[in-house]
Amino acid sequence: MKPNALICTQTGEEYPLDEPIWQSPKGYLLDIRFRPFLDKTSTRTRPANLWRYREAIPVEKDENIVSFGEGATPMQKINIAGVDVHFKLDFLFPTGSYKDRGSAVLISKIKELGIRHVVQDSSGNAASSIAAYCAKADIACDIYVPKGISEAKLTQIRAFGANVKIIDGSREDTAQAALEAAKNSYYASHCWNPFFFQGTKTFAFEVAEQLGWKAPDVVILPAGNGTLLIGAYIGFRELMKAGITDKIPKIIGVQAANCSPLYQAYNEGLPYIPKIETLPTLAEGLAIAQPIRGKQMLQYVELTEGVFLSVSEEEIKDALLLMCSRGYFIEPTSAAVVAGVQKYVEQFWENEKIVSVLTGSGLKAVDKIAKIVNK
């Protein structure tokens, strides 16, 4: 068994880590087997960014690293419903969301592979993040977006020089168009590409380090495509395997009630993701009806004895106003997670140490926030 490999999640077949593929030849999801090296002592003296865990990140040569010095975001205690909860301030990343964790590692790996052109699809933070790192690395990128996405987001993506392709159809049609284009390019997808999760796993490393190299009891995270949730699980598992921490925290996944396939699957005990009815939600980053890594999310939440929670539009608005009143300008998707924290504290909390995250900046969604605040 090679220590490092790309592994097909369906068949278990293995491919070299340096093969420029993002799905298996039969079209299944890939995961990564990688033996990280984590060391508390050498980490301590390094610059405060996510590359301080250098030997735990599968990019071979330092010269390939594409970085804005991102990571090591502050973690602050904020009182929610009477309980002090530790929040990572991931809305402070260079492009305004935690997606930069994934993009930093994925685009570095893409540079290492010698790839000069990528495609990506998203209507928001993942696209602008990938576009920024491609700009920094001088890699061309085509971003597929559905018709009708907000002008602000389109502008951020275009400003970085990405080639925007507007698809006259649904979010699913857009993903299909990107998949088609990826046949002649490389898919820098935050959901498909397993290297993205090698970046989001640094969330767990930072949390543990900031708690004095201890795992918290509970982490409460968004459950859209699960790029942070799955990454956090991988990171906490690596810390435990390295003998640094003694447990993987309970993982709580938060969904918007208006689009909650995982919440429904969890509550009905389904081993698959059901086709569901959806309504629009303020938490646009959580409006994922068919998350391609949904089964993985279900598995990790269940393995850690966590739960899925769903929050209403009213609860999202209330959480947004609460955080704004405390001086945190976050986007509504990010507020949905805070609403989930509130629900967890009220319904499940048993004197546990909770960590959560503020995922995205309010500057991304000023129009939506104006409608809530200026009422």
Ligand X SMILES: *Cc1c(COP(=O)(O)O)cnc(C)c1O
CB closer to ligand X, 86 vs 364: 364
CB closer to ligand X, 202 vs 225: 225
In this structure, what token pair is assigned to residue 17? 């880590």
Q: How far is the CB of 41 from ligand X (least distance, A)?
A: 31
- CA pair distance 261, 287, nearest whole angstrom: 10
357-369 burial: b if 16+ Cβ within 10 Å, else e? bbbbbbebbeebb
CB closer to ligand X, 100 vs 112: 100
Q: How many CA within 13 A on the CB side of residue 114?
A: 2
Separation in Å, CA 222 to CA 83, 263, 283: 20, 12, 10
Stretch that binds ligand X, among 152-160, 227-235, 256-264, 303-311 (CB under 6 A): 227-235
In this structure, what token pair is assigned to residue 109? 């790996």
Helix (H, G, I), strand (E, B) or coil at 330: strand
Q: Quick one: which of 67, 128, 255, 333 contacts ligand X (CB under 6 A)?
A: 333
The residue among 117, 239, 127 whose CA lies nearest residue 174 is: 127
Stretch that binds ligand X, among 10-18, 143-151, 224-232, 343-351 (CB under 6 A): 224-232
Separation in Å, CA 93 to CA 23, 72, 114, 129, 292: 28, 9, 26, 10, 25
Residue 249 is a binding residue for ligand X (CB under 6 A): no
Q: How far is the CB of 249 from ligand X (least distance, A)?
A: 17
Q: Count the neighbouring beta carbons within 10 Å of the beta carbon of residue 80.
A: 25
| Axis-axis angle for helices 332-347, 366-373 (nearest 10) | 60
Q: How far is the CB of 29 from ligand X (least distance, A)?
A: 15
Measured at CB, which residue is nearest to ligand X? 360
Q: Quick one: which of 285, 306, 340, 362 contacts ligand X (CB under 6 A)?
A: 285
Q: How far is the CB of 337 from ligand X (least distance, A)?
A: 7
Q: Quick one: which of 67, 260, 310, 334 contacts ligand X (CB under 6 A)?
A: 334
- CA pair distance 200, 50, nearest whole angstrom: 10
- CA pair distance 299, 372, nearest whole angstrom: 36
Q: Quick one: which of 50, 132, 143, 223 contacts ligand X (CB under 6 A)?
A: 223
Q: Quick one: which of 359, 365, 368, 369 contacts ligand X (CB under 6 A)?
A: 359
Q: How far is the CB of 13 from ligand X (least distance, A)?
A: 27
Stretch that binds ligand X, among 37-45, 49-57, 165-173, 221-229 (CB under 6 A): 221-229
Q: Quick one: which of 224, 235, 294, 340 contacts ligand X (CB under 6 A)?
A: 224
Stretch that binds ligand X, among 74-82, 136-144, 261-269, 331-339 (CB under 6 A): 331-339
| Residues binding ligand X: number (CB under 6 A) | 18
Give yes or no for a contact between 341 and 220, defined as CB atoms under 8 angstroms apart.
yes
CB closer to ligand X, 58 vs 291: 291
The residue among 98, 75, 3, 36 whose CA lies nearest residue 240 is: 36
Q: Quick one: which of 23, 123, 202, 227 contacts ligand X (CB under 6 A)?
A: 227
Residue 228 is a binding residue for ligand X (CB under 6 A): yes
Q: Quick one: which of 97, 193, 255, 281 contacts ligand X (CB under 6 A)?
A: 97
Residue 121 is a binding residue for ligand X (CB under 6 A): no
- Identify the H or E element spanning 167: strand 163-167
Q: What is the DSSP string of 135-163?
A: HHHT-EEEEEEETT--HHHHHHHHHTT-E
Q: How far is the CB of 138 from ligand X (least distance, A)?
A: 25
CB closer to ligand X, 285 vs 340: 285
Return the ∠ at Cα 3 (arms to 187 and 126), rounded to 5°: 25
Positions that interact with ligand X (CB under 6 A): 97, 99, 125, 222-229, 285-286, 331, 333-334, 359-360
